[in-house]
Amino acid sequence: MESSRSDDDPVGVALFVDGPNVLREEFDVDLDDVRVAAEAEGQLVTTRLYLDEHATPGLIQAAEARGFEVVVTSGDVDVKLAVDAARFAAEGRMSTLAIASRDTDFKPVVETANGYGIRTLAIAPGEFGRSDALRNATNDSVTLDGDRGGDADGEGNGADGS
């Protein structure tokens, strides 16, 4: 797969957050921490928080105050997030895809982005909220309790075939 992006196009990190999956009481996730984890990979070109119709107005307002574009869907949040992320990949609108989730359902979109030569990052809400399949499909991973995996030490975690 070839991206339509040329080497001199300014691109950065596209952050997509699976709200119902990450913003759960048992994980105590702060959206600022999610943003910081993604910003460690480069300049953010989009920060989107996907929520379902049960999201409270307070959550939506808090996310918008932190600079997130909030996408509320009446259907499955996963489908909308995956379609948007795949579109960003196909259009060459990012050099890194960061997905904050603990859901293995995003493995195909991560693999699609990898196929376009886009770096991928999985952000997990905590050690017990991590999808190993998603983590292994990405170039790098961050667990918000501080664990960072990846290929900085020369040992990949699966996306490059190692």
Q: Residue 4: is its pLDDT beyond 70?
A: no
Mean pLDDT to the nearest integer, 110-122:
96
Q: What per-residue confidence (pLDDT) applies to 130?
A: 76
The percent of residues above 90 in pLDDT, for the chain, comes to: 69
As a dihedral over the C-alpha atoms of residue 141, residue 20, residue 17, residue 35, rounded to 10 degrees, the angle is: -80
Whether pTM exceeds 0.95: no
Q: Which of 101, 97, 75 lies closest to 86, judged by CA?
A: 97
pLDDT digits (tens, 9 = 90+) for 48-59: 999 999 999 999
Of 17-26, 52-61, 141-150, give the lowest mean pLDDT range: 141-150
Domain 13-150, classified CATH 3.90.380.10, yes or no: no
- Domain residues of the chain, as ranges? 13-150
